Amino acid sequence: MPSHPRYREDLTRTEILALLGAGPLNRSEIAARLGLGAATVTEHTRRLVALGYVRELAPQVSGPGRPRVPLEVVADAAYTLGLRVHPTHVVGVLVRLDGSEVERFELPFDPANDPVSQLADACAHAFAENTDAAAPVSRIRGVGVALPGVIDPSTGTVRLSPRLGWTDMPLGPLLAARLPVPVLIDNDTRASTTAELLFGAGRSHDDFLVLAIGDGVGMGIVLGRRVHRGPDGVAGEFGHVPVDPAGPPCMCGRRGCVEAYVADYALAARARELGLTEETLTVDGLRDAAGDPGMAKLLAETGAILGRAVAGVVNVLAVRALTVIGESHVLWPHLEPGFTEAVAAGVVAFPDLDVRVRPWDDSAHARGAASLVLAASIAS
Ligand SMILES: [Zn+2]
C-alpha cells in the first residue's frame, strides 16, 4: 500500500456505500439515486463486493423479469479515522463504511510544538483503543486530516494556514511516515462538504452550497455531485467576496470582505464599537446577548450582508440548496431574518432556496476527512 495515496476525485464508490448505509438497495435503485448508468453501477459494485465491503442478499422476485438482488453494506468490514485539526484541539472520529461512528475523541493540540508527533499520538490513541475491540487496527484503511487553510491534497502539503501558523508544511508525507496506513489531508470546509454530499444535502440535491461560518467564512461548492476545487484547490474563498471597499479591515489585508463583517471576531469587534458590550464576546456570548435590540439589529444587518453575497453565488451557479455549518451556526436564528430577506430580494431565478442549518460540531470536518480517505483507499 502506498504511504500517501494519489488523490482521486472520484467518490462514486464511497457514495454507493453511504447510500447503502441507509438500507439495502438493488443495482437499478442505486443507478437511479446517483444518476449513474447500469454498467457503471455494475462495475463499481463488483469491486465493492470483491473487497468484502458490500454483500448480495437473497434475490427478490416481483412480477415478470429477472429477480432483483439487493445489496447490503458490510459496515464493519473497514474503518477510516478522520481528524479535525483546530488551533487548540484535535477531534478524531473512527468511522464505519456506512458512515456511522465507532468512537469519537478530543485531545488538546498546540500547532507550534512538534505538531506531527501530536497528530501521530492522536492516531495512536485510536489505533490502541481498537486493537482488541470490534474495530481491529488491521481494518483501519487510512487517516484523513481536515485543516483550515489552503491545502494541496495531491501532495499532502499545507500551503498556507494562518490560523495554525503553517506555511508549505508537508504534513501528509510526514504523518504517513509515522503511521501504518495512508494519510490524506484536505481543507476542512471541503471535507465537511464531502460529508454533506454523502450523508446530507447530497441525498436530495446534485448541486448545492455549504456555507461555513465561524472564525472565518468559507464555502463548499457541489456541482453535478462533485466537490468543486478549482486550480490549486483554492475554490470557495467566499469569505473574501468584496462587500464595501471602505469597510472594516480583513485578515487578508483588504477591506470590507464578507468575513470582515461575519466572522465571529468581526462581530465581536463591531459589538464593542457600537457600545453594545465592553467585553470581546465569544459566539455563545453573542448569542446570549441577542435579546438586546442593538445586538439583534447588528446580527440582522450581518445576516443581510451574508444573504446579498450568497444571492450573487446562487445567481451565478443556479444552485437551489444551501447548508449552513460552523461554530457560528448557533447565531443563525438571529442572522436568518436579514439573510432570508436579502436572498429573496437578490436571487433572480430560484427564490425558493432550500436552506438547512446542520446541527454541527467539530466532528463533521473529521467525518468528511474520513470519507475522503476512504474514497482514496478504495480507488487505489
Ligand atoms: Zn478578506
Residues with CB under 5 A from ligand 1 (ion): 240, 250, 252, 254, 257
Residue 61, pLDDT score: 80
pLDDT in tens, 244-288: 999 999 988 899 999 999 999 999 999 999 999 988 899 999 999
pLDDT in tens, 25-83: 999 999 999 989 999 999 999 999 999 999 999 998 877 777 889 999 999 999 999 99
Strands (E), 215-338: 217-223, 226-227, 321-325
CA 37 to mean position of chain CA atoms: 27
Residue 375, pLDDT score: 82
Section 330-358 average pLDDT: 90
HSE at residue 195, side-chain half, CA atoms within 13 A, is 29
- pLDDT range class, residue 135, cuts 50, 70, 90: low
Q: Are strands 140-147 and 183-187 parallel, antiparallel or unpaired?
A: parallel
Structural domains of the chain, with CATH: 12-75 (1.10.10.10), 78-194+363-379 (3.30.420.40), 205-357 (3.30.420.40)
Ligand 1 geometric centre to CA of 109 (Å): 27
Which residue has better confidence, 270 or 132?
270
Residue 39, pLDDT score: 94
- pLDDT range class, residue 4, cuts 50, 70, 90: very low
- Chain mean pLDDT for the chain: 89
* pLDDT above 60 for 185: yes
Residue 199, pLDDT score: 86
Section 306-319 average pLDDT: 95
- pLDDT range class, residue 2, cuts 50, 70, 90: very low
* pLDDT above 90 for 352: no
13 and 20 in contact (C-beta within 8 Å)?
no
Q: Which amino acid is at 233?
A: G
Element (H, E) at 79: strand 79-85
Q: How far apart are CA 164 and CA 166, in angstroms?
A: 6
Closest C-alpha among 327, 373, 380 to residue 145: 373
At CA 88, angle to CA 86 and CA 89, rounded to 5? 65
Closest C-alpha among 255, 349, 250, 336 to residue 296: 336
Ligand 1 geometric centre to CA of 253 (Å): 6
Ligand 1 geometric centre to CA of 251 (Å): 6
Please measure the distance between the N-terminal and C-terminal CA atoms of the chain and give it in whole angstroms.
8
* pLDDT above 70 for 5: no
pLDDT in tens, 93-130: 999 998 888 889 999 999 999 999 999 999 988 777 66
Ligand 1 geometric centre to CA of 240 (Å): 4
Assigned C-alpha cell, 224: 453535478
Ligand 1 geometric centre to CA of 151 (Å): 18
Section 150-178 average pLDDT: 92
Residue 108: how many other CB atoms lie within 10 Å: 9
* pLDDT above 60 for 134: no
